[in-house]
Structure formats: C-alpha cells, structure tokens
Amino acid sequence: MVVSMLKLPAIVPSTSKSDISLSVKVDTNAYEQWRSNIHRELEEDLQRQVEQLLEESERQERLSKLQRQYRRTGQCPPLQQADTVDKWSEIDRRNARVLHPLNSKNSFTAQKRLSTYYQFEKNSNKSFYFNSYHSYRSRRRSSQPTDDQNCMSPTMYLNKYMNKASSVPPINNNLSFVFGNSIIKSNKAEVLNIFEQKFAKGDKSNIYVDKNGVIITEDGPFWPDNYRILHPTPKLLSRELLQDEFNLSSSTSNVINQQTYDNQPAIYKYIETIKHPIIIYDMDKTARNQQIKPPDNEHMCPQLIFESRFEGGNLRQVKRVGQFEYELVLRPDLNTRRHTQWYHFRVQNMIANITYRFRIINLMKKSSLYNDGMQILLFSGVGAKKESRGWNRVGHHINYSEYKSRSYNPLLERDINYYELDFQFEFTHSGDTCYIAHCYPYTYTDLKDDLEYLSKIRPSEIFRRDILCESQAGNSCFIITVTDEAVPINKKKFVFISARIHPGETNSSFMMRGLLEYITSNDKTAQKLRTQLVFKIIPMLNPDGVIIGNYRCSLTGKDKNRNFRHPRKQTFPIIYHMKELVQKLQKEQREILAFCDLHGHSRKLNVFAYGCDGCDGAEPDMKNFLDARVLPFIMSKTAPDMFSFDFCKFHIHRCKESTGRVVMWKEMLIKNSFTLEASFAGSNIV
C-alpha cells in the first residue's frame, strides 16, 4: 500500500495572539485531512484484500469440485496456466503435504492458497500433477498387496511391479520441502526428478551416483541445500570389534600436561619455523580437489591435507600452527552454536613415524573420558588393504582441558567457554589415507547396507523392513518388524527399541546392529523370543543429523530427546509418527511390554540403564521400586563384565520429563521403559 504524504503548511512564529490562533487552526485542519486520507486508503486496501481472499476461496472450491469429479470418473484433469511465476509464492501454495504426505502439516496460509494443479513455467504445456506424484510414491512403496513386498530390495520391487504402472510426468527440479512457517530445501527433489527421467527412458535402477560420486537411492541420503557433501561415503566397516577394545586398562592412562615430541631424526631435518598460523582447510572455501603443495624448502615438513565433506564429517577449519602441529575447529550442530563433541575427518599426505600434534579447540563438555584413558580412533587405508586392520585406538599425551585462547578466531563465540582436546600420534604409512573419529562411525548408508543384507539372508516370515515416515530432508526412517508370523499376533506382546536419536552416539548403532543380527538368527533363545514377542525397531531416529555430522540435534537445531511430550508433526515427524504407532497399538489392546532407547555416554564407563520408578514422593511404592530394577539387574548378571548395575539410575529429574523413556512410561504407561547407555571408552569392570 502506498500512502500519499501530504505536505503540512509551515508554521511561522508570531508574537500576536491572532496570528498564533490562525496558525494553530490551519495546522489542525491539515492534520485532520491527512488522518482522514490515511483511514480511507486503509479501508480501501482492506476491502481489496477481502475481495481477493473471497475470489481465491471460490476458486479453490471450484478446483476441489473438479478434482472430486475427475476422481469419480477416473479422468485426468486438464492442464492449467500458472497464475504467477513468482518462486516463493508458488512454494507456499504447494505446501509440504504434496511431497511429504506422511510428515507435513498444512500451515494456515498455505492451506488457504493451495493450488491443486501447478505449472512451473508460464509458457509451458506441462504441469505438476500432485496425484501422479503421490501415486508414483505409492507404487514405489506399498501399493501392491503382497506379504514380503517391503522386504524386497528396491531393484526387485521395481522389476516386479513398475512394468504395470503408467508413465508419470517428470518432477520439476526446484521443489522444496515446506514445514509450517519454515522452509527446508534439500537435494531430494533433484534426485527424484533424475529417477523419473531414468524411469521414462526404461532404466528401472534405483541407484543414482551424483557428480561427486555420492551414491543415492530413493531412500537417501539427502541433505539440506545449505550443506555440501562433496565426497562419497567412506566404507570403513572392515571388521567386527574385538572384545578387548571394550575393556579399558589402567595402563593406557594418559600422561597429563606433557607436551613433548619424539621426532628424531625428523626434528633435525625439519627445522623451519612457522611465524604465523596458516588456514589450510575451510569447509566453505576449500576446493573439492585439493592439490598437494610441495614444501617451500627441504626444511619444511609436507603439509597434511584434511577433508570432512562426506557423510558424517564435521571438520570446519584447520590451521597449521607449527611444523607438526595443527589446530582444528569443529562445525557445531546445524542451526546451533554449540553441541561440538563428535568429530570425523580424513587426513592425507603424511610422513610415517613422525609425531604429529592435533588440538581440537571448540569442544563443549567440561569433562571427558579422554582424561581417563580413552584414546583416539584411527582408520588406515593402507593398513586395511595390506594387513586387514580396521579402526585402531592410537595416541599418547592426550589431554582434555579448558581452552585458553592463543589467538583470535572468528569461528569461536566470545561468550562460550570451550574445551580443548590435545593429542599426539604417529602414522604408520607414508602417503596413506587415514580417518580419525571420536567413535566408530556408522552412517545412514551403513544402515541401508545392513538392512539390505539382512533382508536378503533372513526369511520374510521373521524380518520385515518398512518405512515409518520421512525426515525433514526426505530421508526414509526405517522401522523393522521381527517376529514369527506362524504364531498368531494376538498371543504376543510388543517391544519397542530405538537408537541414534543423538547422531554422534554411534556406539548405539553398533548395539542395534548386534541386536538385529541376534534376534533374527537361528539361536534357540532368539527363536523363542520371536514366538512370544513382536519387536518394533527403529534403528535410526535422526537420519538427517547423522548424514550431516551433527552430534546431538536435528536440522532444526533441537534435541529430539527433549521433545517427546508434544512433538510437532512438521518439526519432529519421526517422533510424532512413533508415538502415533504406540497409541494405535494401545487402542487395539496390544500390550507393550517394554521400550528401550539406545544411547552412548561420553563421561561414564561401562553399560548401564536409566529407568523410571516414580518413587519420588514421601511414601514410595515398593512394587514400582522393584519393577523398575528387574531388567537392569538381570542384564548385570547376564553380562557382568560389561553392565554395571551400580551406575543405573531410576529417579526422574525435571529436565528429563520430555525424554523418550519418561514419556513412554508416564504418558504411554509402558512399565518397562529404559534408556540403555554404552560408554564411548568401554568397561573397567574386572
């Protein structure tokens, strides 16, 4: 609205009373005229807006009637011309339910202005047909009635069913995902468009390799547009973990505050000093293909090459501050300033048997198991090929302490107290490709591979893989059902198990991996469990955070495990649908025997559980007190070298009332509701 500005008459000072009275009168009349003009224009503008809303409402009603008519007759609606080519207004009109029928919630504005058939270009003869897109996803997912359909690999599913499907119009590649008032754009629309083009050409493969070599399927991985993944997902699950890696020996304790090097004879060869810190890697600025720069002279040690722009990586910046010393800054969780504890990055161009010193300077927790003997994890590419070695614990002179700034770094916040991880280690092979991590990495791609493997080797009568919903970025959230279908379901109880709600707690995925392999095996105990129970398992509650390398939060910068009480459908779709599934089973009078959420712990040793006894009042219920402790006590007797009953806690703190275990116990009335914690370091139980 444009309001014309009226020029008020100038007030000339006067000493006479008559002149003053006249000037005030003129000024008052001008002000009244100006105010009346403002009110009139506001009323006219409001009237125009009301008329536009009424016209839009009538148009929506006509389109809805036409759509119902075409559905009844089975005809395809005629193509329509777009009202406008404005990108953002059309995104608002489209709304999330078009792309995420399981996740999204129509916002008030988008619901009013939703355009059922949308054309992307003004002069184009093609339109985006919503029903075609939805039926395409349904055909790809679960439209055909078959018992083992969800256990098929995507390739088998396409070969069996897609020949019967009609052609689908191509999807425009500038789609976005809209959730309420926020817009989260990801690369999923572009990938789906490519799948459509491949399918139109007769190529039924569900695998797409992008220009950077990242392998993407219809389920993911997908990531936000403002995040870059420039390298393929590393395949680092080379072997099973050994038993002794979980036992922490006192002999591995670190020497605190000793910053020494053992670089003989290299210390005599590389004697050049670095006068100023040099930024050698930046997540936002460094080119994808980094060139190996030869040293300026023979007295300068070759520079290490860092990279973390792959699935699960989170290295933000690296400075070289000495011949063998590097200062590292981690990227905080997306849309936060904090939550930096997980790290995973690649290192190249090293020289063997030289002691390097790394300092990660922006960690957040006040204490860490590094001061209790935990070491750094390193994976050597050469060692894996020649010696069949996988991840190994390395490092010495490891110290975790409060960071004391030595120089200004714009990536660090002035009002936050950071902590520094200082460690030294040696590479075994020169010119190797090594990965360094806080804990054994387990990516979304690793999960897909594991589930694909299990679906091939396990019969469909005991193992079924479905999709609960899709995440904010469009990644599929898998839900696994394990039971013996030969036994009627009305005789069974349900058990819910979930993991990886915190992306950086990768050890929870390895617990989940072992659980899935065991309860689907031919072991007699596993067979008996399948005849009596139905396991509903969600192996990864936060796939978006796992893909982009977050430590704790989702894409919105919120901790999912603090939002179980009132999860918004558009903000926490996986938690929302998980609770809906539990409520649905309870309405069907299905008994849920237990709920267990798998986690990792960075400051305690051993495996232990958090439960709910509700014994906080003056007169605690002894039955509830004992019931909450039965399963943890049994676990301590079953695995006495791993599980510590003394570390278990059952009191409900106020800050934990929105966590999964408390909500499932208090709101869903699941008596056995636990959080199972596993240490990042291992066990010290002798």
**In this structure, are residues 339 and 364 in contact, taking their beta carbons and an 8 Å threshold?**
yes
Q: For residue 676, list its beta bridge partners.
A: 598, 609
Question: Considering 325, 420, 505, 677, which one is annotated as catalytic?
Answer: 677
In the residue annotation, 413 being an active-site residue is answered as: no
> Which residue type sits at 467?
I
**In this structure, are residues 304 and 280 in contact, taking their beta carbons and an 8 Å threshold?**
yes
* Class of residue 618 by CB neighbours under 10 A (exposed 0-12, middle 13-18, buried 19+): exposed
**In this structure, are residues 444 and 540 in contact, taking their beta carbons and an 8 Å threshold?**
yes
| d(C-alpha 648, C-alpha 138), whole Å | 45
Identify each DSSP E strand in 103-232 by its residue range: 117-118, 128-129, 177-179, 182-184, 207-209, 215-217
| d(C-alpha 581, C-alpha 168), whole Å | 32
| d(C-alpha 651, C-alpha 361), whole Å | 35
List Cβ neighbours of 432 (8 Å cut-off, separation of 6 or more).
348, 350, 352, 380, 381, 382, 383
Is the torsion defined by CA of 658, 663, 664, 666 positive or negative? positive
Q: Can you read off the two tokens belonging to residue 509?
A: 């995925």
What's the Cα-to-Cα distance from 123 to each of 2, 113, 207, 622, rounded to whole Å?
Answer: 32, 22, 33, 74
Q: At what angle do helices 154-161 and 130-141 cross, to 10 degrees?
A: 110
Is the torsion defined by CA of 465, 468, 472, 474 positive or negative? positive
Phi, psi of 578, rounded to the nearest 5 degrees: -65, -45
Q: Within 10 A of 184 (CB to CB), how many other CB atoms are there?
A: 20
Identify the DSSP state of 302. P
| d(C-alpha 556, C-alpha 405), whole Å | 30
Q: For residue 208, list its beta bridge partners.
A: 216
Dihedral in degrees, nearest 10, Cα atoms 613, 501, 368, 319: -170
List Cβ neighbours of 115 (8 Å cut-off, separation of 6 or more).
63, 83, 90, 93, 94
List Cβ neighbours of 135 (8 Å cut-off, separation of 6 or more).
143, 168
**In this structure, are residues 222 and 186 in contact, taking their beta carbons and an 8 Å threshold?**
yes
Identify each DSSP E strand in 33-118 by its residue range: 117-118
Catalytic residues: 677
